[in-house]
Amino acid sequence: MEHTYQYAWIIPFLPLPIPMLLGVGLLLFPTATKNLRRMWSFTSVLLLSIVMTFSVNLSIPQINSSSIYQYVWSWTINNDFSLEFGYLIDPLTSIMSILITTVGIMVLIYSDNYIWNVLIFINRFLVHTAYCGKCLSKSVVTNRVGDFGLLLGILGLYWITGSFEFRDLFEIFNNLIYNNNNGTNFLFVSLCVLFLFVGAVAKSAQFPLHVWLPDAMEGPTPISALIHAATMVAAGIFLLARLFPLFIVIPYIMSLISLIGIITILLGATLALAQKDIKRSLAYSTMSQLGYTMLALGMGSYRAALFHLITHAYSKALLFLGSGSIIHSMEAIVGYSPDKSQNMVLMGGLQNMCQLQKILFIRYTLSLWYSASCLFLVQR
């Protein structure tokens, strides 16, 4: 199986040439590129299907044995200093790779008749420049705060431990916590871990760095489903799960994580009830549901947090795609006007025109409730 693990680098790199070629083609040969839309769509779905199959194949040994594989390339500059880069395959990365590839295929197929798959290449550009300047400023400010905190945390931990390797980092950090009675060192390492948490708060739209997510819904619906429901907003939760051994040894940080999760749950759910825009309502719902995941991590329930992260990602991606279909149905009545076509106040009686969407939307909503019930029963 190690021979297969050596080719795990194809997961991020195999689908990459298609959006790059699309971007260049649209800039240099826009007409010819648009005429070959079906060919680009088929190739994108094919390559992503191969990646998804490979991800599932890598995950089978993880399910059976929870094995860990690390592959590192070394770039030696001199005898005293070398740069290393590589990838780590464990149950956490296997789960995330399956999540991203399966949701990616679903969104690609959906977006083929929507704005097609060039969106995957230019999604951030569309959301942050073509749709609203207000969203740009909020997203840049909040994420720069998170990035700065994350950078400070990384540099601080490297200064303390002298390593970026997860295993070495966890071992040295635990020794500092349990074997060192110096209060100054404990305060400093706690501050470094807190800075790491700030990065996770910004990426997963948790209170108080949550303000960018609802405005990002002004972008196209496939972007909302892929980026703002299943992948990018899960990055903060993934960071906490990956560095969980650092957080769990500091009770004060764990209590803070739980508190932020509780505030986000209540705030997101309350704001979602007050929204008229269907996508903004789903955005606040996403924020609230990620708060549950944050709360579970703060309570030390690692598996429950990941379970809810995965099930919520699929359910919310389906809800966003379903909302896109409903919005298109509204456009046939009110014309192209986001203020009207996305306004839930004006959607009364729409079920007579959208029987299929009604059934699917109800099933998508119930899938989230069902997964939460299963999680409760498993925990009991």
pLDDT at 151: 93
β partners of residue 86: 72
pLDDT at 78: 67
Decide if pLDDT at 200 tops 50: yes
Q: What is the pLDDT of residues 341-364, one digit of tens each?
A: 888 888 877 777 777 877 887 887
pLDDT at 130: 45
Q: In terms of C-beta density within 10 A (0-12 exposed, 13-18 middle, 19 or more buried), how is residue 134 classed?
A: exposed
Looking at per-residue pLDDT, the higher value among 214 and 68 belongs to: 214
Least confident of 32-41, 107-116, 185-194, 329-338: 107-116
Decide if pLDDT at 22 tops 50: yes
Nearest Cα residue to 218 out of 297, 132, 287, 303: 132
pLDDT at 344: 85
176 and 157 Cβ atoms separated by less than 8 Å: no
CA distance 65 to 80: 37
Percent of the chain residues topping a pLDDT of 70: 86
Decide if pLDDT at 125 tops 60: no
Q: What is the pLDDT of residues 264-275, one digit of tens each?
A: 999 999 999 988
| Distance (Å) of CA 86 to CA 3, 71, 147, 310, 314 | 15, 5, 22, 25, 29
CA distance 164 to 2: 23
| Secondary structure (H, E, C), the chain | CHHHHCCCCHHHHCCCHHHHHHHHHHHHCHHHHHHCHHHHHHHHHHHHHHHHHHHHHHHHHHHHHCCCEEEEEEEECCCCCEEEEEEEECHHHHHHHHHHHHHHHHHHHHHCCCCCCCHHHHHHHHHHHHHCHHHHHHHHHHHHHHHHHHHHHHHHHHHHHCCCCHHHHHHHHHHHHHHCCCHHHHHHHHHHHHHHHHHHHHHCCCCCCCCHHHHHCCCCHHHHHHHHHHHHHHHHHHHHHHCHHHHCCCHHHHHHHHHHHHHHHHHHHHHHHCCCEHHHHHHHHHHHHHHHHHHHHHCCCHHHHHHHHHHHHHHHHHHHHHHHHHHHHHHHHHCCCHHHHCEHHHCCCHHHCCHHHHHHHHHHHHHHHHHHHHHHHHHC
Nearest Cα residue to 149 out of 180, 214, 195: 195
| Six token digits for residue 166 | 């997860």
Q: What is the pLDDT of residues 141-166, one digit of tens each?
A: 888 889 999 999 999 988 888 888 88
Q: What is the pLDDT of residues 215-255, one digit of tens each?
A: 877 777 777 788 777 778 888 899 999 999 999 988 899 99
pLDDT at 371: 64
Q: Can you tell me the mean pLDDT for 292-299?
A: 91
pLDDT at 90: 84
pLDDT at 369: 72
User: Letter for the amino acid at 171?
Assistant: E
pLDDT at 267: 93
Whether the upstream peptide bond of residue 208 has omega within 30° of 0, thus cis, is yes
